[in-house]
Amino acid sequence: MSPLISLFGAGLITTLGHTLSIKLVNHKHLDQAKANNRHVIYAFWHEGLLVATYAFRRQDIRVLVSQHRDGEYISRTIERMGYTTVRGSSTRGGTRALFRMAAAGVAGSDLGVTVDGPRGPRHRVKPGIIYMAGRSGLPILPFAVSCAKPYILSSWDRFMIPWPFTRAVIAFGEPLSIPGEMDKDAIETYRLELENRLSTVRTAADESLTQEKIC
């Protein structure tokens, strides 16, 4: 892929992001997680990737990016915005990528995962992040993105693209700590719990936008 394409992509995201009014809701949960553990695993739905990429840029976060063809474009683009990428997904290179992500967490990196990516189903957490959290010892910090009347793609994730000069909200949920040793039933229990927390913060983000509009 031409370096100019990734340069253009990073510039476009940054330029759009500069026009947005982004509000952080329940930031106390991020402060709590950072105070107790210093590093976290950010967990969010694939639909909010664009806003999240802008909001968390230049924070030295290591993110999991698929090995599909579009993953190459995403990887090179976000690396220009200060992220480090690890390539892998639930279908290609997944186990090795999870080990590399967990090792990075142990070594002192924040991690980021779109938990229903790269191909869905939408709003269904895949278990990889549970393994990752258990091996790294880092808490999972769920958050969700909501945008005021975004353009929504007809893709599996209903990807949100905010219009310039509009409002967006990032709502954080309570950190979720995962034990190092788990059986399959425990993994499924934590997976469902994370799914529920992400659903809750998505609602909180939507409600925050609605309240601002009323005010």
Whole-number Å distance between alpha carbons of 77 and 43: 20
- Tens of pLDDT, residue by residue over 80-116, are 999 999 987 655 557 888 999 999 999 999 999 999 9
Whole-number Å distance between alpha carbons of 194 and 204: 15
Say how many Å lie between the first and final Cα of the chain, rounded.
Answer: 46
Q: pTM of the predicted model, to two decimals?
A: 0.93
Query: Beta 110-114 vs 84-87: how paired, if at all?
Result: unpaired
Whole-number percent of the chain with pLDDT over 70: 94
Whole-number Å distance between alpha carbons of 198 and 140: 11
Q: What is the mean pLDDT of the chain?
A: 92
Whole-number percent of the chain with pLDDT over 90: 79
Beta bridge partners of 131: none
Could you state, in order of their start, the residue ranges of all structural domains in the chain?
A: 3-214
Confidence of residue 179 (pLDDT cuts 50, 70, 90): very high
